[in-house]
A and B are shown apart, each in its own frame.
Chain A
């Protein structure tokens, strides 16, 4: 099946710094990728839809200046959490959508801890 990787799997950063999370589709091209945030024992909350070559579409309530998304190629999307604060600590999951089937394949997630 299609594989999506995320890097890093875990990151700890200090408050006020920025951290970048990469999402790659390894064996297929993805014009569209999705970024989710998940709190413990809760569902996945869609943050934004990342489109290759164009600006990301953010869900209501998600600060676009805080969560910068870049989708520069058909296999790579990045999420940068800028000026991170402890309340940004969470589990972030990306998903890439296959072009032909529209199926979404999920990365293994990134646990962000802001101290």
Chain B
């Protein structure tokens, strides 16, 4: 069975600083996708970034970037120039091709002014 592990239940970062959220996963699949979702207090799930496993290049979306280490099965999220609006629960998720998402336990990010 596939598992997704987020070992940091809570993290905090000073506004304008950089923070990295960790995620590891376990799979025997070769074709899969990895995601980071943000869930703010409204509880609407928002896709932050996605990574296709076959791509070696790390995905980037503005201030958000990932460090994808396929051999180590690691998928961390880096948030640069943190803003107050980045405060949320962040979920790492894994999806084998054409199947459903498996979520990690989440990391609650606090941004300190």
Contacts and interface: CB of A to CB of B under 8 A. Distances in A.
Interface of A: 34, 38, 41-44, 46, 49, 91, 93, 95, 97, 102, 104, 106, 108-109
Interface residues of B, number: 16
B44 A43 contact: no
Contact of A108 (B44, B95, B100, B106): B44
A109 B101 CA distance: 17
A30 to B, nearest CB: 13
Interface in B17-46: 42-45
19 contacts: A34-B100, A34-B101, A38-B43, A41-B89, A42-B105, A43-B103, A43-B106, A44-B45, A44-B91, A49-B100, A93-B43, A95-B45, A97-B100, A104-B95, A104-B100, A106-B45, A108-B44, A109-B43, A109-B44
Secondary structure at the A interface, as helix, strand, loop or mixed, is: strand
B105 A108 contact: no
B7 interface: no
A38 B43 CA distance: 10
Contacts of A97: 100
Given A34-B100, A49-B100, A104-B100, A93 B45 contact: yes
B12 interface: no
Contact of B103 (A44, A49, A102, A109): A44
B91 A108 contact: no
Contacts of A91: 43
A109 B39 CA distance: 11
Contact of A102 (B42, B43, B98): B98
Contacts of B69: none
